[in-house]
Amino acid sequence: MSSLILKRSFNRSLLLSQKSCTGRQLISSLFSSLSELQVKSPPSSGLRDFPSLDQNYKFLLSGFSSFLLKTIERPPRSQFRGSKRYLSSRSSERCRASASGIGILQRDNSGSASALLSRVILPYDSNKDQLHSKRFCMFSTETAVELSTSDGLTVDRIVASNWTILDESESDWKSHAAAISQSIQVVKRRLQWKKLMVRLDLLSAELNKPDLWGDPVHAGKISREHGSLMAKMKEVIAFERELLEHIDMIKLAREEDDTELESESLNTLLRMRRNSKQKELEALLGGEHDSCPCYIEVQAGAGGTESMDWAKMVMQMYKLWAQRKGYKVTVVDEMPGEIAGIKRATIKVDGEYAFGYAKAEVGVHRLVRISPFDSGKRRHTSFAAVAVIPILGDGSTHVQINESDLRIERFRAGGAGGQHVNTTESAVRIVHIPTGITATCQNERSQHMNKASAMAVLQSRLDQLEMARQAQMNAQHTQSLTEISWGNQIRTYVLHPYRMVKDLRTNYEVSDPDSVLEGAIDGFILSYLSASLDKEEVYH
């Protein structure tokens, strides 16, 4: 893409210069085009003939392929329109923050970036009344950089312009651009853009500490998180940049009556528009462990058989939901009730983003119905608590478990055992003595496998405990989701006297409880996830 723009704008610069430009302008526009290809040392002797040039054009090429870091003083607009995008920075504070961002480059691309440092020109003396007159453009982890088109359009400005959003089938670039811009704002909000940037700066600072690798576990964690946040940020910025580039392209194409170029860019915008909804969805699942598989646990509340039956219905709802999503479901542990239902059960849900979705279900689920277990046909209210535990991947740091801290018990064993007994029941309970946390598995066909399965549950529970502890310690990391306690009632299912399922957190409601209990809960999950992320503060 950038090479295409480069070629086009290069041609255009030549074209313009042939028409009306002075030689000086020709050189400057040529220079601006070439600058994407190679780093130039601006105050070079060959350019001394043009007195203002060394002040006017200073170029910096960042370590990131297509990012151009440059300072431009009053660019001759007619030449540059459609040829470059500018990143602006409007205050000296931001420039300082940006400069710290260069420090990161220095680390990532040790050789070249450190040399670049000296050439960053901070526009302290900028002419602030002219917003676009002075552009300080650089790549950093700070939000100070704001992408714009050649005539100063930014995503925010596009949204603020309230362009009418027409149907996708209408070939209107403004409509596409407005829809995409809205999505970019949603994505940024969901990623908690501002917090993300602060966190990235923090991580970068951490990565720059010379003694970082003294603790390889910590260092690994930091650099993994840095890498993953960086990737998220880069993806959004690339998307934003692509949008603005194509807006420039369309304008350029119109000026030149290049219909081929125009429709090409228009098609790209349409593709981006279709893509953007998916990006909004993905941004909902941007949490550190969202992509992990997970355990879902359901525990019956007080109230005997009626609430045990309810717990079973809730568990069934999750099994069916997981099946719809194409996840693999394994029952790990199930404690049946005496007459009906379950006292508690644990299932393992395996598949992409299982935890990211299921975490929205944590809390107490309430049922109101006429109990089939009550001969008096009275209305009952029952509760079932749901917990969701991520199963961290091999790349994550797990809590170290000492064998000596464990007590392993045969669950529900009785009698003499050994050769006396033939049983297919080989449930195992593992107790982690220091924390008192236990895990049970009884659905595997051998004791060995039950033990392995229970061990995995125990590991995840201890990992979760540790994450909660760290989250408390680290205010940066506090998420509303981890704060939800077992006591929070999140949803009510009413089967009588009327029929409705309502989420108490979002007020999202559905009038068909049967479909919900058959696993149609994505509406609840998505509305909760978006509500909990979208209510966040303005992103910059």
Q: Is 417 in the site for other proteins (CB under 8 A)?
A: yes
Which of 448, 469, 496, 540 contacts other proteins by CB under 8 A?
Answer: 448
Q: Which of 19, 378, 420, 535 binds other proteins (CB under 8 A)?
A: 420
Note whether 447 binds other proteins by CB under 8 A: yes
Omega before 210 within 30 of 0, i.e. cis: no
Beta bridge partners of 489: 364
Residue closer to other proteins (CB basis): 172 or 518? 518
Interaction between residue 345 and other proteins (CB under 8 A): no
Q: Any contact of residue 201 with other proteins (CB under 8 A)? A: no
Among 111, 210, 376, 414, binds other proteins (CB under 8 A): 414
Smallest separation, CB 429 to other proteins (Å): 9
Size of the site for other proteins (CB under 8 A): 28
Query: Which residue type is seen at 66?
Result: S
By CB under 8 A, residue 199 contacts other proteins: no
Nearest approach in angstroms of CB 413 to other proteins is: 4
Q: Judged by CB under 8 A, does residue 434 bind other proteins?
A: no
CA-nearest of 226, 146, 273, 178 to 539 is 146
- Contact range with other proteins by CB under 8 A, out of 178-186, 412-420, 459-467, 527-535: 412-420
- 350, 335 contact by CB (below 8 A): no
When binding is defined by CB under 8 A, the residue of 19, 377, 378, 445 that contacts other proteins is: 445
Give the pairing of strands 86-88 and 328-336: unpaired
CB of 414 vs other proteins, minimal distance in Å: 7
Q: Please report, for residues 106, 388, 402, 464, the alpha-carbon distance to residue 460 in angstroms, rounded to integers and kept in the order given.
A: 38, 10, 15, 6
Interaction of residue 416 with other proteins, rule CB under 8 A: yes
- CB environment 377-398: b (16+ within 10 A), e (fewer): eeebbbbbbbbbbbbbeeebee
Backbone dihedral region for residue 160 (phi beyond 0: left; psi -120 to 50: alpha; all else: beta): alpha
Binding mask 492-521 for other proteins (x = CB under 8 A): ------------------------------
Minimum distance from CB of 321 to other proteins (Å)?
13
| 456 near other proteins (CB under 8 A) | no
Specify the 3-state DSSP secondary structure of 262: helix
Candidates 494, 499, 483; CA nearest to 532 is 483
Phi and psi angles of residue 489, each rounded to the nearest 5 degrees, phi first? -85, 125
Token couple for 298: 């359901």
Query: Is 423 a binder of other proteins (CB under 8 A)?
Result: yes
Q: How many CB atoms neighbour CB 168 within 10 A?
A: 13
DSSP-derived letter for residue 512 is -
Instruction: Count the helices and strands in the chain (H runs, E runs).
Output: 17, 16
Shortest approach of other proteins to residue 373 CB, angstroms? 17
- Segment lying near other proteins (by CB under 8 A), choices 339-347, 414-422, 471-479, 485-493: 414-422
Tell whether residue 402 is a contact of other proteins (CB under 8 A). Answer: no
Binding other proteins (rule: CB under 8 A), the pick from 339, 413, 433, 468 is 413
Name the residue nearer to other proteins (CB basis): 274 or 448.
448
Given the complex with other proteins, which of 319 and 365 has the nearer CB atom? 319
In the complex with other proteins, the residue whose CB is nearer, 409 or 514, is 409
Cis peptide, bond prior to residue 372, ω within 30 of zero: no
Give whichever of 279 and 344 is closer to other proteins, judged by the CB atom.
Answer: 344
Is residue 535 near other proteins by the rule CB under 8 A? no
Q: What's the rounded Cα separation, in Å, for the pair 188 and 326? A: 29
Closest listed residue to residue 43, CA positions, set 119, 115, 102, 111? 119
Kindly indicate which of the ranges 85-93, 176-184, 237-245, 445-453 contains the residues binding other proteins, using the contact rule CB under 8 A: 445-453
Q: Does 408 bind other proteins (CB under 8 A)?
A: yes
Using the rule CB under 8 A, give the single segment among 97-105, 123-131, 423-431, 521-529 that binds other proteins. 423-431
The answer to whether 274 touches 219, Cβ cutoff 8 Å, is: no
Indicate the SS3 state at residue 86. Answer: strand
Token digits of residue 427 = 């449930």
**Which residue, 395 or 415, has its beta carbon nearer to other proteins?**
415
What is the token pair recorded at 99? 């400069």
Count of residues making up the chain: 540
Asked if 339 touches other proteins (CB under 8 A), the answer is no
* DSSP symbols for 301-324: -SSHHHHHHHHHHHHHHHHHHHHH
Give me the 279-318 binding string for other proteins, x by CB under 8 A, dash otherwise: ----------------------------------------
Contact stretch for other proteins (CB under 8 A) within 27-35, 233-241, 386-394, 439-447:
439-447
* Residue 449 binds other proteins, judged by CB under 8 A: yes
Nearer to other proteins, 43 or 417 (CB): 417
> Minimum Å distance from CB 524 to other proteins?
23
d(Cα 187, Cα 540) in Å, to the nearest integer?
Answer: 13
Environment class of 528 (CB within 10 Å of its CB; exposed 0-12, middle 13-18, buried 19+)? buried
Look at the block and give the residue holding tokens 């007195």: 51
The answer to whether residue 425 forms part of the interface with other proteins (CB under 8 A) is yes
110 sits near other proteins (criterion: CB under 8 A): no
User: Judged by CB under 8 A, which of 114, 133, 381, 443 binds other proteins?
Assistant: 443
Residues 6+ positions from 218 with CB-CB distance below 8 Å: 212
Query: Cβ closer to other proteins: 22 or 330?
Result: 330
Among residues 323, 470, 488, 489, the one that binds other proteins under rule CB under 8 A: 323
Beta strands per DSSP E along 43-133: 57-61, 68-73, 86-88
- Residues of this chain that bind other proteins (CB under 8 A): 319, 323, 336, 408-410, 413-426, 428, 443-449
